[in-house]
Structure 1
Amino acid sequence: MPKIFGVALLALLLAAASPAPAGAETSAHSDRIAGRYIVTLKDAPASADAEAAVDAAVEQATSMGAAVQHVYRHALRGYAASMSASAAAALADEPGVQSVQPDRIVRTAAQTVPTGVNRTDAGLSPTAGIDGKDTRVDVDVAVIDTGIDLDHPDLNVYRDGGKNCWLSWLPPNDLHGHGTHVAGTVGALDNGTGVVGMAPGVRLWPVQVLGPLGTGSWSDVICGIDHVTEHADDIDVVNMSLGGEGTDDGDCGKTNDDALHQAICASVEAGVTYAVAAANDHADAAKTVPASYDEVITVSALADFDGKPGGLGRSTCRSDQDDTFADFSNFGADIDLIAPGVCVYSTAMGGGYTTLSGTSMASPHVAGGAALYLAKNPDASPNSVKAALQGAGTLDWTWPSQDSDGTKERLLRVSSF
């Protein structure tokens, strides 16, 4: 069994959440902004009276402890203010007040195509069919991670397929945010809003093996793999953006008694394709599992800031050189593909969106690419999927840059899938 002190997330949480258009994050269950209200006044007979009525109403609200943010005099008469619920109720009973309504979140209606989706040419994939019309890729992808936000409106979460190995009596609802971000890169809906994933609308199986701090145990991870293998007739692809210390014995864990390796080999033998993160130590991935296992697709991270080749993009959420090997990414002979992993914009807990960096963010691009290939080649073996992804990949990125292994990995490209 590999030596670990806890299974650590591979995300580099180096970027702050991108601000929502309304300036606040909200629960998927409610779009109300706590403590903020819009107060509309009744009509007054003359403009002079109307002006005076607005001024008087604002003064009254202030005297009741309200903090007025906006005063409306033209499109309607009234104001917006922060206040207690009791003050709002009292104002609603005033004779000159037409209504007091909660302020609510508003979001842009446009859909963002993340730079990683652009850089891998997912927008050109006929299977992905990215056009804002909510066409869905008919593939099942398990995310073995911190769980997934089960109510996120931009994700097709298959609740009945979920499992919580971290706390078995709870649903696999994300308490950290990492798994939800991974899930969005794999398959956020192509619904005209939010973001779109590599394989839009795939059925996402939430398999929670890590807790709110982003750590867990190998026994919990093996529980997740066991669940996936039980449902290998339904699950096509797994993303595992997690890891710890260990090596590949070249014998599926039979020589060095590595139970994790044995479990993954059995799952792959059952037909499930695994995409895993290389880790973020800027070291040889040979000392990290599951990244070092030959049976999985191990993914390093590309720094890409504009979704295009050429190295002309300006850095955004963190410093790095555009279109180069990410300065934190692991390298070595175990790397099978490289994919965007810096400043990746994707789904977040609470129905929102955020930006993160890490090989954890690179791996789900490949999981989504595998889903696209399997949508058209449902009988392909995991080895065939890996070969197809590598064969379709491109060398059109700047090298050697930070890559220390002397080998230029192919960059994920899915336009032909």
Structure 2
Amino acid sequence: MRHLVGKSLLASVLLAAVLPAAPGHADARTSAYIVVLADGVATSSVTADHAVTVDHVYSSALRGYSGRMTAATAARLARDPRVVLVQPDGVATTTAQTTPTGIDRIDAELSPTAAIDGTDQRVTVDVAVIDTGVDLDHPDLNVYTAGAKNCSTGKSADDGNGHGTHVAGTIGALDNGVGVVGVAPGARIWPVRVLNAQGSGSFSDIICGIDYVTAHANEIEVANMSLGGSGSDSACGTNKDAMHEAICRSVAAGVTYVVAAGNSAANSSTFVPAAYDEVITVSALADFNGQPGGGAAATCRTDVDDTFADFSNYGPDVDLIAPGVCILSTWKGGGYNTISGTSMASPHTAGGAALYKATHPTASPATVKSALQAAGTDNWNTGTDPDATHERLLNVATF
């Protein structure tokens, strides 16, 4: 599978052979060519001798012209001693910014706060990515390196896996005309590394990350946790689960937590932090074209368009569904990648929470969750949900 960075700059030269037409079968079709002349040769002196429709005349960077002609004429020109080069014209495209399908599907491009238009105007909000770290100098991310924290292996919060950088891009990749764009473009990303380069980590490392975020709760509005392990829910204050107690206190401090439901096609009640009531738990939608209605062909993996992703966890603990299949986003090493999982659905929602907090800075985590659910839609194939609780699809058009 090849992953593209938006649209690559290309100069694809047409490789049609420049051959004379067969006798008695002259080909009158014309194509575009570029003709470079020897120094001192006037364009008019050459075009007068050959049947050419001239488009551009070059006189500074080089001497020559472009125009339309038949293959036979191009062949004759190539043999003319006054001509240095006859080259089929090529095609180039801009290095344009790509709007990932997930951004389109949740209507982030309609959000007045996101204001996605290719101009780098950043959403003023801080989001912690509790993950494998983040590429600290990725050109398409607003990474707050002074706020980086490493609770895992190594000495740096720099991403050794790619997963955390991908999450960060979906949340807040810059609206700068290149690469991709996130749900809350330019949101300030706090890299909190709790997983190693293989994408695993201990609960104690994760609690270290939660503890760090809580210490900065006056600055960090939203935290994303696209990770999980075995466990179950408990009530805050019962001291039965250290990670839950940490999240309870962090949420009480004002941080909105968004987490992945999990990728085991099972009930999320046996996975933490997905089972916790205080977080926003997100399942994954399979969407291949950013549009409702279904019917789009699968791209990076086999699934059915506009349906509950075949790998996604489900159950009453799930609060929202968001795109999580074949999501293009930023990657370690300054690159981009397309991957799938509820890990990709969660940051769409974290980006939505960031948009809401940007315009409702005093909103509590419970209020943020309610607002996201209220703005959601049922404009997806809810009949494919494995359980009776059909979560609403994230939509941020009004945020």
Report the TM range for the smaller structure's normalisation. 0.7 to 0.9
Q: Name the structure 2 match of 1:261.
A: 244
Q: Name the structure 1 match of 2:138.
A: 152
Quote the Cα distance in structure 1 between the aligned partners of 2:367 and 2:268.
Answer: 23
Amino acid at match of 1:372: L
**Matching of residue 181 in structure 1 with residue 166 in structure 2:** yes
Structure number with larger C-alpha Rg: 2
Equivalent of 2:213 in 228, 232, 240: 228
Amino acid at match of 2:352: G
Q: Which residues in structure 2 correspond to 1:239-278 (within 5 Å)? A: 239-249=224-234, 251-252=235-236, 254=238, 257-278=240-261
Equivalent of 1:370 in 347, 353, 378: 353
Contact 1:111 1:193 in 2 (8 A): yes
Q: Name the structure 2 match of 1:214.
A: 199
Q: Name the structure 2 match of 1:411.
A: 393
Contact 1:253 1:259 in 2 (8 A): no
Equivalent of 2:314 in 316, 327, 331: 331
Quote the Cα distance in structure 2 between the aligned partners of 1:350 and 1:414.
Answer: 30
C-alpha deviation, 1:314, in angstroms: 1.2
C-alpha deviation, 1:17, in angstroms: 3.3
Q: Which residues in structure 2 correspond to 1:379-394 (within 5 Å)? A: 379-394=362-377
Matched residue SS, 1:298: strand
Equivalent of 2:301 in 302, 311, 318: 318
Deviations 1:326-357 (A, max 9, x none): 00000000000000000000001111111000
Matched residue SS, 1:242: coil
**Matching of residue 290 in structure 1 with residue 273 in structure 2:** yes
C-alpha spacing 1:312/1:269, structure 2 compared with 1 (3 Å): same
Contact 1:149 1:350 in 2 (8 A): yes
Quote the Cα distance in structure 1 between the aligned partners of 2:129 and 2:145.
Answer: 12
TM-score, normalization by structure 2: 0.78
C-alpha deviation, 1:22, in angstroms: 6.8
Deviations 1:275-298 (A, max 9, x none): 000000000000000000000000
Contact 2:98 2:178 in 1 (8 A): yes
C-alpha spacing 1:46/1:334, structure 2 compared with 1 (3 Å): same
Quote the Cα distance in structure 1 between the aligned partners of 2:38 and 2:359.
Answer: 66
- Give identity over the alignment, percent: 65
**Matching of residue 172 in structure 1 with residue 157 in structure 2:** yes
Higher normalized contact order (CA 8 Å, seq sep 6+, divided by chain length): 1
C-alpha deviation, 1:16, in angstroms: 5.3
Q: Name the structure 2 match of 1:40.
A: none
Q: Which residues in structure 2 correspond to 1:68-217 (within 5 Å)? A: 108-167=94-153, 170-217=155-202
Quote the Cα distance in structure 2 between the aligned partners of 1:360 and 1:118.
Answer: 18
Structure 2 residues without counterparts, runs of 5 or longer? 11-36, 42-60, 63-91
Quote the Cα distance in structure 1 between the aligned partners of 2:296 and 2:155.
Answer: 43
Contact 1:278 1:330 in 2 (8 A): yes
C-alpha deviation, 1:108, in angstroms: 4.7
Deviations 1:47-100 (A, max 9, x none): 9xxxxxxxxxxxxxxxxxxxxxxxxxxx98xxxxxxxxxxxxxxxxxxxxxxxx
Quote the Cα distance in structure 2 between the aligned partners of 1:204 and 1:112.
Answer: 20
Superposed CA RMSD: 2.1
Quote the Cα distance in structure 2 between the aligned partners of 1:319 and 1:18.
Answer: 19
Equivalent of 1:309 in 278, 285, 292: 292
C-alpha deviation, 1:18, in angstroms: 3.7
Quote the Cα distance in structure 2 between the aligned partners of 1:107 and 1:178.
Answer: 29
TM-score, normalization by structure 1: 0.75
Structure 1 residues without counterparts, runs of 5 or longer? 1-14, 24-42, 48-74, 77-105
C-alpha deviation, 1:370, in angstroms: 0.2
C-alpha spacing 1:264/1:107, structure 2 compared with 1 (3 Å): farther
Quote the Cα distance in structure 1 between the aligned partners of 2:5 and 2:319.
Answer: 34
Quote the Cα distance in structure 2 between the aligned partners of 1:111 and 1:44.
Answer: 40
